[in-house]
Amino acid sequence: MALALKGIRVLDFTWIHAGPSATRILSDQGAQVIKVESNQALSVVGGPASNTARGLGQRHNWNAGKSSISLNMKTDAGKELARRLVAVSDVVAENFSGRVMPGWGMDYDGIRDIKPDIIMLSMSGFGRTGPWKDRVSYGQTLQAWSGFTDLTGFPDTKPSGPASAYSDAVGGMAGAQAVLLALIQRARTGRGQWIDVSQMEAMSSLLGPLTLELSAKGNDVQRTGNRLHHGGGAPHGAYRCKGNDRWLAITVFTDDEWSAFVGAIGSPDWASDHRFANSESRLSYADDLDKLVESWTSEQNAEDAMHLLQAAGVAAGVVQTGKDMAENDPHLRERGIFHQVADSAGTMRTIERAPYKLSRTPGKVTGGAPEFGADQDFVLRDILGVNDEELAEMAIAGAFD
């Protein structure tokens, strides 16, 4: 299978979610990703031990296809090995606070002295400049600071925010995209560069239209639940269905769509009420309409109701759970978004592939996530050419964690 990044080597210092997901995208396209790990990360999500309660699923998903080595970056010997790996790499990736890499003597200026055309990806909460550049952050706090959390929820409730670290996923995609752009530029000019990714800015970039409205009208957009801020139809929302936590999203904009919706659900008496005579009046009485629509959906199986409405030309979709997506969705199954790879013990692990397909270089997951330090000999002997005597000296000097 063709791999667009075959021949590219990435030295990966990243951990947790945002950084590993960025380098996983590169790995799927054939880049050789050498993951530098530490026993100090055992207790965090995605940490080195793939069989720990926290590390199991995330590690296999975000680190599939990579190699793992263990270095003790608190020792001179560990730092020297890291510098030798920089010299044979194309990309160095890290997602620490701004103090870590300079503390190792491996900021961009430091690694550029080792390899002038190196590309360095630095991913942090707030970027490497500005008054907040040295602050440590987490996904949920970044989402709040970006403004994203304030938009999620209903008008009469507190902000809810996404259930997971959405900013990590967004930051990871931004980081991978930036590396690809830098590789294209290097192929043309022979020059590397430093990539400064702010996860907060990556999140804020998703809210562009809201910022535009504030600058144009002075309106501070408020939470609206499932309804659109502009041109929202009615009914428009997620409606409870039969069963435990089963919901159906329905959107009706035009009078023709309303007629199709009414016919599909059996033309109940309330649908002929004067309050719902046209799109404008339905929007005015949207709260009343929502209750009546839910009186119908609450008696329906979500999937059956979705197919019924779609057949009538009405936009409708089941609000899927993780189990629905991974096990029950026929479209995702056909597309192969979730598939299994074997870990080092031969146990099959379900992970996700990239959400795109390239016709010439489709890429693939080359293997499961590595066990902690599993590729120590391969990286040191085959890539760096370290002999037995030198290896023993490094071990005595504390290079390995």
Residues 200-257 pLDDT 10s: 999 988 887 777 777 777 777 777 777 776 667 899 999 999 999 999 999 999 999 9
Query: Which superfamily does CATH assign the domain made up of 9-205+356-396 to?
Result: Crotonobetainyl-coa:carnitine coa-transferase; domain 1 (3.40.50.10540)
Could you give the residue ranges of the DSSP H alpha helices within 105-192? Answer: 108-114, 139-146, 166-189
- 352 φ/ψ angles, rounded to the nearest 5 degrees: -105, 150
Strands 67-70 and 91-94: unpaired
The residue-averaged pLDDT of 357-376 equals: 85
Residues of the chain with CATH 3.30.1540.10: 247-318
Residue 398 per-residue DSSP state: T
Give the pLDDT band (50/70/90) at residue 48. Answer: very low
Question: Count of residues for the chain?
Answer: 401
Per DSSP, what are the bridge partners of residue 195? 121
Cα–Cα distance, 212 to 235 (Å, whole number): 27
Pairing status of strand 194-198 against strand 67-70: unpaired
Kind plus residue range of the DSSP H or E element containing 262: helix 255-264
H or E element at residue 196: strand 194-198
Query: CA 20 from chain center: how many Å?
Result: 10
- Which contiguous run of DSSP H or E holds residue 391? helix 388-396
pLDDT bucket at 164, cuts 50 / 70 / 90: confident
Task: Determine the pLDDT at residue 213.
Answer: 74
**Average pLDDT along the chain:** 89
Q: Which two tokens stand for residue 364?
A: 């693939």
The single-letter code of the amino acid at 128 is: R
In this predicted model, what pLDDT tens digit does every residue of 118-154 receive, in sequence order? 999 999 999 999 999 988 888 888 888 888 888 888 8
| Local confidence band at 288 (pLDDT 50, 70, 90 cut-offs) | very high
Which pLDDT value is given to residue 47? 46
Question: Is a pLDDT exceeding 50 seen at residue 46?
Answer: no
Instruction: List every span in the chain annotated with CATH 3.40.50.10540.
Output: 9-205+356-396
Q: DSSP 3-state assignment of 231?
A: coil
Beta bridge partners of 248: 239, 318
DSSP of 102-114, one letter per residue?
Answer: HHTT-SHHHHHHH
CATH architecture label of 247-318: 2-Layer Sandwich (3.30)
Active-site residue, 343 included: no
| Residue 148 DSSP one-character state | T
Alpha-carbon distance 262 to 12, whole Å?
56
Active-site choice (168, 196, 343, 401)? 168
Residue 50 banded pLDDT, cuts 50, 70, 90: very low
Total-model pTM: 0.88
User: Does the structure show a pLDDT above 50 at 44?
Assistant: no
Using alpha carbons, list the distances in angstroms from residue 398 to 71, 78, 119. 9, 7, 28
